[in-house]
């Protein structure tokens, strides 16, 4: 795209802050909680945060927001790092909110000393009661007026492990009648005797999200802390803590999270799909995870292009997954090497073909002059696709039929002379003649045919399994569909073709190649592939067949 793109609203803020001299350079962060694998929604946040720093010459930290010991794991930390790198971004520093536990504890002490936090013995039910409702003021906790000295002593005892889970919490002392419910004396520390994936058993009190996030931003001198819209009501609290603690004035900005048709995107739901075995792991090619998309053959370039095209909005919306597939197709068309694979083989015997066979050539990618050519063996016995033949063909059927001619891609024109069947009437092979003068590239036959078929040489072909994927959900807006999201799973989302034949060039290729199987779609090699059996994933179809089906239905 050559035309100048207009700035999104966050870029406008950044440009204003730079030109006013408020900042000399910007610092952003991507702050995943390591409680699952990253999904395409995170990719949007990654592209935004790293994109801002790249564009304006700043830096981006990767910060693991690991303040919840129960759901987090180092497996997730590693997968997140892999995915961010694969998407093409480098972080300035790798940070962990848990590295700040001591500092955060100090911040809590400071609040207590300022008379702005207190230890509360109320039960969680009582605290919920005290909160009031959006239209009704809350009520003060009976523990709200403890002295600073008592609060300090109790908070230290909380840290020392003298209480059980839930026995006490630390709350900020703000205003129980505040119109923003988040400002009604929010809990900032809770007791949790749980093992943490990094700090082990060092702590039994953990800061709440609101007491960790903004302060971590401030510790790292984050200038623009970008998050999704649901944090708008948290912003007042974010600012309040920073002001009271007199720390670096990070600012929070919110944009609309990515929602996509036929897809779920919350880690909690994705975890259910994995645990309840609706899919084969976090990197199942049907998942909306980065690792699933990578395994399916999506490219980082295509995902970045998609994130760029959807832009940054201030209102929630639902993006058509077809747009992502469009971006994938557009990129793969440029880089995928062309190959021939027959999914449902029907044997063709060329009765007039003599000799051992020959080597033909075909270009790897007509879209890319530098991609070169490949060898394709041709011989007397070939396979074509069973559904490229019809014994009784309608008018305007341009594929193979008795007495009819087609071109075999990059090879010869053949004519079908005879149909051979077994005792049950199933067609077992076709006897055809080939036209020697019709060789692609030096065709002097003068014969014009309308149909071109893909094919493989029977003797040279290699066996392959091909996995075809469909949408994992049957409804467009899964998030707002009735009932449980799992009620809407498409149980036919995986079709396995296990008797395909691939041209031999595929056996020798490197694992990260992307392919266009002629007339079939875009494919990549799966990690389940072995030297005995190639396994391919269909990345995306050649055209948006789904859009048509929906209209027909």
Q: Which residues bind ligand ATP (CB under 6 A)?
A: 31-33, 41-42, 44-45, 65, 227-228, 257-258, 265-267
Nearer Cβ to ligand ATP (65/284): 65
Q: How far is the CB of 31 from ligand ATP (least distance, A)?
A: 5
Catalytic residue among 59, 190, 257, 295: 257
Q: What are phi and psi of 252, to 5 degrees?
A: -95, 135
Rounded CA-CA distance 462/533 in Å is 8
Chosen from Mg ion, ligand ATP, none, partner binding at 186 (C-beta under 5 to 8 Å by type)? none
Nearer Cβ to ligand ATP (65/385): 65
SS (H, E, C) 202-248: CCCEEECHHHHHHHHHHHCCCCEEEEEHHHHHHHHHHHHHHHHHCCC
Nearer Cβ to Mg ion (228/445): 228
Nearer Cβ to ligand ATP (103/228): 228
Kindly indicate which of the ranges 7-15, 29-37, 199-207, 349-357 contains the residues binding Mg ion, using the contact rule CB under 5 A.
29-37
Nearer Cβ to Mg ion (65/220): 65
Q: Which residue has the tokens 């974010």?
A: 238
Annotated catalytic residue 267: yes
Nearer Cβ to Mg ion (33/363): 33
Burial 264-299 (b: 16+ CB within 10 A, else e): bbebebbeebbeeebbeebbbbbbbbbbbbbbbbbb
Chosen from Mg ion, ligand ATP, none, partner binding at 199 (C-beta under 5 to 8 Å by type)? none
Indicate the SS3 state at residue 542: coil
Q: How far is the CB of 33 from Mg ion (least distance, A)?
A: 5
Nearer Cβ to Mg ion (61/516): 61
Catalytic residue among 267, 269, 294, 295: 267
Query: For ligand ATP, which residue has the nearest CB?
Result: 41
Count Cβ atoms below 10 Å from residue 529 Cβ, excluding itself: 17
Strand partners for 59: 27
Rounded CA-CA distance 373/130 in Å is 74
Rounded CA-CA distance 235/240 in Å is 8
- Choice from 33, 150, 254, 470 touching Mg ion (CB under 5 A): 33
417 makes contact with Mg ion (CB under 5 A): no
Which residue, among 33, 55, 48, 31, has the nearest Cα to 87 in the 3D structure? 48
Rounded to the nearest 5 degrees, what angle is found at the Cα of 537, between the Cα atoms of 536 and 542?
A: 115
Q: How many Cα atoms are found within 13 Å in the side-chain-facing hemisphere of 217?
A: 27
Indicate the SS3 state at residue 265: coil
Q: How far is the CB of 213 from ligand ATP (least distance, A)?
A: 9
Q: How far is the CB of 228 from Mg ion (least distance, A)?
A: 10
Catalytic residue among 11, 33, 367, 476: 33
Indicate the SS3 state at residue 529: coil
Chosen from Mg ion, ligand ATP, none, partner binding at 32 (C-beta under 5 to 8 Å by type)? ligand ATP
Q: How far is the CB of 279 from ligand ATP (least distance, A)?
A: 16
Chosen from ligand ATP, Mg ion, none, partner binding at 368 (C-beta under 5 to 8 Å by type)? none
Chosen from Mg ion, ligand ATP, none, partner binding at 146 (C-beta under 5 to 8 Å by type)? none
Q: How far is the CB of 187 from ligand ATP (least distance, A)?
A: 19
Contact 284, 292 (CB under 8 A): yes
Q: How far is the CB of 210 from Mg ion (least distance, A)?
A: 12
Query: For Mg ion, which residue has the nearest CB?
Result: 33
Annotated catalytic residue 168: no
Annotated catalytic residue 113: no
Kindly indicate which of the ranges 33-41, 115-123, 174-182, 348-356 contains the residues binding Mg ion, using the contact rule CB under 5 A.
33-41
Dihedral angle at the C-alpha atoms of 63, 64, 66, 67, nearest 10 degrees? 20
Rounded CA-CA distance 196/178 in Å is 34
Q: How far is the CB of 491 from ligand ATP (least distance, A)?
A: 24
Neighbouring residues of 13: CB distance < 8 A, sequence distance ≥ 6:
224, 253
Which residue, among 323, 295, 293, 325, has the nearest Cα to 521 in the 3D structure? 325
Nearer Cβ to ligand ATP (41/345): 41
Q: Which residues bind Mg ion (CB under 5 A)?
A: 33
| Catalytic residue set | 33, 257, 267
């Amino acid at each position: 795209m050559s035309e100048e793109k207009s700035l999104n609203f966050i870029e406008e803020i950044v440009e204003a802050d730079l030109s006013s001299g408020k900042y000399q350079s910007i610092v952003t962060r991507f702050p995943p909680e390591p409680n699952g694998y990253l999904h395409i929604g995170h990719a949007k946040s990654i592209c935004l945060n790293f994109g801002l720093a790249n564009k304006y010459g700043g830096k981006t930290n990767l910060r693991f927001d690991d303040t919840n010991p129960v759901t987090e794991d180092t497996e997730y930390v590693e997968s997140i790092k892999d995915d961010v790198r694969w998407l093409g971004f480098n972080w300035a520093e790798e940070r962990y909110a848990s590295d700040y536990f001591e500092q955060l504890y100090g911040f809590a002490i400071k609040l207590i000393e300022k008379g702005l936090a207190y230890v509360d013995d109320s039960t969680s039910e009582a605290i919920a009661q005290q909160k009031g409702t959006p239209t009704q003021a809350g009520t003060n906790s009976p523990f709200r007026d403890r002295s600073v000295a008592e609060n300090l002593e109790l908070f230290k005892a909380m840290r020392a492990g003298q209480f059980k889970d839930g026995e006490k919490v630390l709350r900020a002392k703000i205003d129980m009648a505040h119109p923003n419910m988040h400002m009604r004396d929010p809990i900032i520390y809770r007791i949790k005797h749980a093992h943490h994936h990094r700090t082990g058993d060092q702590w039994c009190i953990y800061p709440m999200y609101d007491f960790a996030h903004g302060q971590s931003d401030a510790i790292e001198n984050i200038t623009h802390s970008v998050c999704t819209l649901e944090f708008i009501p948290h912003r007042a609290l974010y600012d309040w803590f920073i002001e009271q603690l007199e720390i670096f004035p990070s600012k929070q900005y919110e944009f609309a999270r990515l929602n996509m048709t036929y897809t779920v995107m919350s880690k909690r739901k994705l975890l259910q799909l994995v645990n309840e075995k609706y899919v084969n792991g976090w990197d199942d090619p049907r998942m909306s995870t980065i690792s699933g998309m990578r395994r399916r053959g999506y490219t980082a370039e295509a995902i970045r292009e998609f994130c760029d095209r959807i832009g940054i909005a201030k209102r929630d919306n639902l993006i058509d997954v077809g747009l992502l597939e469009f971006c994938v197709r557009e990129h793969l068309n440029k880089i995928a090497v062309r190959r021939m694979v027959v999914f449902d083989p029907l044997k063709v015997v060329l009765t007039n073909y003599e000799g051992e066979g020959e080597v033909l050539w075909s270009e790897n990618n007509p879209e890319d002059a530098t991609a070169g050519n490949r060898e394709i063996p041709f011989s007397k016995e070939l396979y074509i696709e069973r559904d490229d033949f019809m014994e009784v063909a309608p008018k305007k059927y341009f594929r193979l039929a008795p007495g009819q001619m087609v071109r075999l891609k990059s090879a010869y024109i053949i004519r079908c002379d005879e149909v051979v069947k077994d005792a049950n009437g199933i067609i077992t092979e076709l006897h055809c003649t080939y036209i020697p003068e019709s060789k692609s590239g030096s065709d002097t036959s003068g014969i014009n045919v309308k149909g071109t078929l893909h094919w493989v040489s029977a003797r040279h072909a290699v066996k392959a399994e091909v996995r075809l994927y469909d949408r994992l959900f049957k409804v467009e807006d899964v998030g707002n569909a009735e009932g449980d999201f799992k009620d809407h799973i498409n149980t036919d989302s995986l079709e396995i073709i296990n008797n395909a034949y691939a041209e031999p060039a595929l056996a020798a290729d490197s694992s990260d190649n992307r392919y266009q199987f002629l007339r079939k779609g875009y494919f990549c090699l799966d990690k389940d592939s072995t030297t005995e059996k190639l396994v391919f994933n269909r990345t995306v179809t050649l055209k948006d067949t789904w859009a048509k089906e929906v209209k027909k239905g």
